[in-house]
């Protein structure tokens, strides 16, 4: 078993607003060397680093928009988001919870700051991922997985080192609550200062991490600060992270689908013909109806 070395360390790109409620750093696919094909199955990553929103009676967020061909995963660290989709799903994603939406053949979606959070204001911090679907599942039925606090599978680390929340995939003998179409590992790692833990993934999996809080040292060598991303080489299987202070780290590793990716806006398909059809179906009202 060999060590998985760092290929790239990325500082957070300049933030931009998505709608009027999400101030995000787009790591995937806008950063050079974090293109969709390189990071597959993780084809988009927006990170709303910790940001203070003042109180308001206005509704902040993103209005009705379509998706086809992939899944969206929203992980809440600070703040609350309310959401609705054209399949009839709705709810609130609170701190420590996850929304896993399979857009597949097509869905309309909207998401806003929760009303109570908007009125009080406060710190807001979230990650949104797009996870690709294999061609045989891109036109399957949409579905929704609400992963609340009670469903989060947790593993306590030895020597009071901290704990790991397993959102998807497996850590040791524990399996996360999320059902995935291809092998995807998604962990929140809560590591106490001066403690370390090891991870092991197949060498060909695309593997990276994002430091949500604190700072860490990877493989006893390179220090990674808050809000920075680390991409690992597709060589070796094991790596170690050590917390230089109490830290939270999002660890991601997934098997590449290795199919063509043709994307435009909210649609990610395998061919240009399929992409054109997605736009036609959307404009023809085939994604259902969702009020603004």
Does position 1 have pLDDT exceeding 90, yes or no?
A: no
Q: Which residues contact 285 (CB under 8 A, 6 or more apart)?
A: none
Q: pLDDT of 8-47, one tens digit each?
A: 999 999 999 999 999 999 999 999 999 999 999 999 999 9
Report pLDDT for 82: 95
Does position 115 have pLDDT exceeding 90, yes or no?
A: yes
Q: Which residues contact 280 (CB under 8 A, 6 or more apart)?
A: none
Q: pLDDT of 222-258, one tens digit each?
A: 999 999 999 999 999 999 999 999 999 999 999 999 9
Q: Which superfamily does 6-254 belong to?
A: Jelly Rolls (2.60.120.10)
Distance in angstroms (rounded) separating the CA atoms of residues 136 and 117: 40
Does position 219 have pLDDT exceeding 90, yes or no?
A: yes
For the chain, give every domain's residue range: 6-254
* 137 phi/psi in degrees, rounded to 5: -110, -5
Q: pLDDT of 154-183, one tens digit each?
A: 999 999 999 999 999 999 999 999 999 999
Percent of the chain with pLDDT over 90: 99
């Amino acid at each position: 078993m060999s060590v998985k070395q760092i290929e790239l360390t990325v500082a957070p790109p300049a933030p931009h607003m998505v709608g009027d409620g999400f101030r995000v750093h787009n790591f995937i696919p806008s950063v050079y060397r974090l293109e969709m094909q390189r990071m597959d199955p993780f084809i988009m990553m927006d990170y709303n680093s910790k940001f203070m929103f003042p109180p308001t009676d206005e509704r902040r967020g993103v209005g009705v928009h379509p998706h086809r061909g992939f899944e969206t995963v929203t992980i809440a660290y600070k703040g609350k988001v309310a959401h609705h989709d054209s399949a009839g799903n709705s709810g609130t994603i609170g701190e420590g919870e996850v929304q896993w939406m399979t857009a597949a053949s097509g869905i309309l979606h909207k998401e806003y700051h929760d009303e109570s959070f908007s009125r009080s204001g406060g710190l807001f911090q979230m990650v949104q991922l797009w996870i690709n679907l294999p061609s045989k599942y891109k036109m399957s039925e949409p579905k929704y997985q609400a992963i609340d606090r009670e469903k989060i599978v947790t593993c306590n680390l030895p020597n009071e080192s901290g704990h790991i929340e397993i959102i998807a995939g497996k850590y040791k003998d524990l399996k996360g609550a999320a059902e995935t179409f291809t092998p995807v590992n998604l962990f929140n790692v809560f590591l106490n200062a001066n403690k370390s833990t090891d991870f092991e993934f197949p060498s060909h999996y695309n593997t990276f991490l994002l430091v949500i809080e604190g700072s860490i040292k990877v493989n006893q060598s390179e220090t990674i600060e808050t809000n920075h991303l680390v991409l690992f080489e597709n060589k070796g299987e094991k790596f170690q992270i050590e917390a230089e202070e109490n830290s939270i780290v999002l660890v991601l590793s997934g098997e590449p689908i290795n199919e063509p990716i043709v994307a435009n806006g909210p649609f990610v398909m395998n061919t240009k013909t399929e992409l054109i059809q997605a736009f036609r179906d959307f404009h023809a009202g085939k994604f259902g109806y969702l009020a603004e």
